[in-house]
């Protein structure tokens, strides 16, 4: 008899799975923030006038976010139909190629198209990883697993900030190289047992229409998306556009988006650990979300009221805001736990990417508000609205900390139920 199924062997396999999922999220975050870090330098180098940098930057980041929306649907459905592992391989391969090509662009349109493709590739990473971890670890331990994914993964922003301070083209090459290394590491991963048990059953798998043909299920899905919107507003607008906010606040020196991203994601990483441990200790992910959503509103109030802000104050405020929105892994885990195995990958992959994609309407809304209220007042208004919506959405979801995830979602279509 071999030792293939010994507890020690199983434990090593699970540990390796959590590590691979964490590194996938590391690469995910690296790519998500690298454009924000090299935005000014890269656009200047390819010949974009200073007066057009903010407009062209919005165009490129919106294309990237649209790619995440498309990819979220694509990889989510593939994950439920063909398996979580296939998503991990396919998404990282597409991402790696796109980033290497991204280092060769010389015009805005090419830049935007490649960011679109990279977004599609990147979209499968977090959802597939969290789904695998949630379905493999026990209900008592899966929170620890997703916390580790968040802690290691968010350090990808630290790596991006460090690499991004040098040549911007090299930063994209490094991102592509990291993806290829991760692709090789994934040769040793294994499929979710819950997916294997479900794959032989005659049930609808990866049917995204199931999220829209039942009233209660649709609302539950929508609430899962809405609870994450404030986080991406903080990162995608308040920190990414730090140079512009710095001018509006009368900063003593120009504020650096790269520095802001670095300290924000260090804060998110630390906050992610605290959020995960708080959820484990309190045995409630909902209460953890309430606490962190309110804390994030307070942190943004401090940031937007920091008249004459100095670079040092900016770093600490970014860390504070990052810590306060460090509920990302907790929020994605909540989404994963709300739905059955046959559409879990679809939900867990689309929800965070729809949240990221929400930056598109948030960007438009923020720009429209600025016309009437200015940058700082618009910053307050958007955060208050997004936080209020997120708090309401959280209140409508059921607590799932102790929920058994090994079940099938009923296909029943009833728009009124």
Structure confidence by residue, pLDDT tens digits, 198-211:
766 767 777 888 88
Decide if 404 is inside a domain.
no
> What is the structure's pLDDT at 10?
46
**Residue 152: pLDDT band by 50, 70, 90 thresholds?**
confident
> What is the structure's pLDDT at 192?
64
The domain of 139 spans 16-191+206-396
Among the listed residues 37, 60, 36, the one whose alpha carbon sits nearest the alpha carbon of residue 48: 60
Decide if 407 is inside a domain.
no
Residue 414's SS3 state is strand
Decide if 6 is inside a domain.
no
- 305 to 22, 205, 301, 331, 359: CA distances (angstroms): 36, 49, 6, 28, 23
> What is the structure's pLDDT at 76?
85
Among the listed residues 320, 324, 347, 319, the one whose alpha carbon sits nearest the alpha carbon of residue 157: 319
Decide if 409 is inside a domain.
no
In this predicted model, which residue has the larger pLDDT, 241 or 377?
377
For residue 39, the Cα-to-chain-centroid distance in whole angstroms is 19
Decide if 214 is inside a domain.
yes
pLDDT reading at 8 higher than 70: no
Can you give the CATH number for the domain in which 98 is found? Answer: 1.20.1250.20
For residue 329, the Cα-to-chain-centroid distance in whole angstroms is 8
What is the Cα–Cα distance from 144 to 151, expressed in whole angstroms? Answer: 10
What is the Cα–Cα distance from 396 to 402, expressed in whole angstroms? Answer: 18
pLDDT reading at 282 higher than 70: yes
> What is the structure's pLDDT at 359?
81
Residues 105-146: tens digit of each pLDDT: 889 999 999 999 998 988 887 777 777 777 777 777 777 887
Phi-psi region of 340 (alpha: psi -120 to 50; beta: other; left: phi over 0): beta
Contact 341, 407 (CB under 8 A): yes
What is the Cα–Cα distance from 135 to 208, expressed in whole angstroms? Answer: 20
Contact 329, 147 (CB under 8 A): yes
Q: Which residue is associated with the tokens 């180098």?
A: 45
Tokens of 170: 């090299």
Residues 388-403: tens digit of each pLDDT: 999 999 999 988 887 7
Rounded mean pLDDT of 172-199?
78
In this predicted model, which residue has the larger pLDDT, 343 or 296?
296
Decide if 75 is inside a domain.
yes
> What is the structure's pLDDT at 191?
67
Residue 214's SS3 state is strand
pLDDT reading at 232 higher than 70: yes
> What is the structure's pLDDT at 375?
93
Among the listed residues 204, 317, 313, 309, the one whose alpha carbon sits nearest the alpha carbon of residue 250: 309
Residues 51-68: tens digit of each pLDDT: 888 888 888 888 888 888
Decide if 9 is inside a domain.
no
Decide if 239 is inside a domain.
yes
DSSP 237: I
DSSP 316: H
The DSSP annotation for 26-38 comes to: HHHHHHHHHHHHH
What is the Cα–Cα distance from 101 to 115, expressed in whole angstroms? Answer: 10
**Mean pLDDT rounded to a whole number for the chain:** 84
What is the Cα–Cα distance from 142 to 193, expressed in whole angstroms? Answer: 14
Structural domains in the chain (count): 1
What is the Cα–Cα distance from 161 to 281, expressed in whole angstroms? Answer: 33
Label residues 218-229 b or e (16+ Cβ within 10 Å = b).
Answer: eebbebbbbbbb
> What is the structure's pLDDT at 211?
85
Rounded mean pLDDT of 355-378?
89
> What is the structure's pLDDT at 11?
67
Contact 159, 175 (CB under 8 A): no
> What is the structure's pLDDT at 415?
47
Percent of the chain with pLDDT over 90: 28
Q: Provide the whole-model pTM.
A: 0.77
**Residue 416: pLDDT band by 50, 70, 90 thresholds?**
very low
What is the Cα–Cα distance from 117 to 290, expressed in whole angstroms? Answer: 35
* Contacts for 303 with CB less than 8 Å, ≥ 6 apart: 238, 317, 318, 320, 321
> What is the structure's pLDDT at 314?
95
Residue 265's Cβ-side half-sphere holds a number of Cα atoms within 13 Å equal to: 31
What is the Cα–Cα distance from 305 to 377, expressed in whole angstroms? Answer: 10
């Amino acid at each position: 008899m071999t030792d293939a199924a010994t507890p020690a062997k199983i434990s090593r396999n699970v540990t390796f799975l959590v590590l691979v999922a964490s590194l996938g999220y590391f690469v995910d975050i690296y790519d998500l923030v690298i454009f924000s870090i090299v935005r000014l330098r890269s656009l200047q180098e390819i010949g974009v006038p200073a007066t057009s940098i903010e407009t062209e930057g919005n165009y490129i980041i919106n294309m990237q976010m649209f790619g995440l929306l498309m990819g979220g649907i694509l990889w989510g459905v593939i994950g439920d139909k063909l398996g979580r592992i296939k998503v991990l391989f396919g998404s990282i391969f597409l991402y790696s190629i796109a980033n290497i090509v991204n280092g060769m662009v010389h015009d805005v349109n090419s830049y935007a198209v490649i960011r679109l493709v990279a977004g599609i590739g990147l979209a499968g990473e977090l959802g597939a990883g969290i789904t695998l971890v949630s379905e493999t670890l026990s209900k008592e331990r899966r929170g620890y697993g997703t916390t580790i994914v968040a802690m290691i993964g968010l350090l990808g922003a630290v790596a991006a900030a460090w690499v991004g301070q040098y040549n911007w083209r090299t930063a994209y090459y490094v991102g592509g190289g990291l993806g290829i290394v991760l692709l090789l590491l994934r040769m040793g991963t294994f499929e979710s047992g819950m997916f294997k048990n479900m794959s032989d059953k005659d049930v609808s798998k990866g049917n995204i229409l199931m999220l829209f043909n039942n009233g209660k299920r649709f609302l539950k899905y929508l609430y899962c998306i809405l609870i994450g919107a404030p986080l991406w507003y903080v990162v995608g607008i308040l920190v990414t556009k730090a140079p512009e906010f710095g001018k509006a606040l009368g900063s003593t020196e120009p504020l650096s988006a790269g520095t802001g991203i670095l300290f924000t994601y260090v804060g998110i990483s630390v906050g992610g650990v605290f959020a995960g441990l708080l959820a484990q200790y309190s045995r409630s992910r909902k209460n953890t979300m309430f606490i962190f959503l309110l804390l994030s509103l307070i942190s943004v109030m401090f940031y937007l009221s920091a008249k004459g802000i100095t670079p040092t104050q900016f770093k600490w405020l970014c860390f504070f805001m990052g810590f306060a929105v460090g509920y990302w892994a907790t929020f994605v885990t909540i989404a994963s736990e709300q739905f059955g195995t046959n559409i879990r990958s679809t939900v867990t992959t689309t929800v965070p990417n729809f949240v990221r994609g929400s930056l598109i309407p948030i960007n438009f809304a923020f720009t429209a508000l600025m016309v009437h209220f200015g940058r700082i007042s618009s910053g307050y208004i958007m955060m208050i609205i997004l936080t209020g919506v997120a708090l309401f959405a959280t209140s409508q979801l059921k607590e799932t900390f102790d929920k058994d995830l090994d079940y099938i979602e009923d296909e029943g279509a009833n728009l009124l139920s």
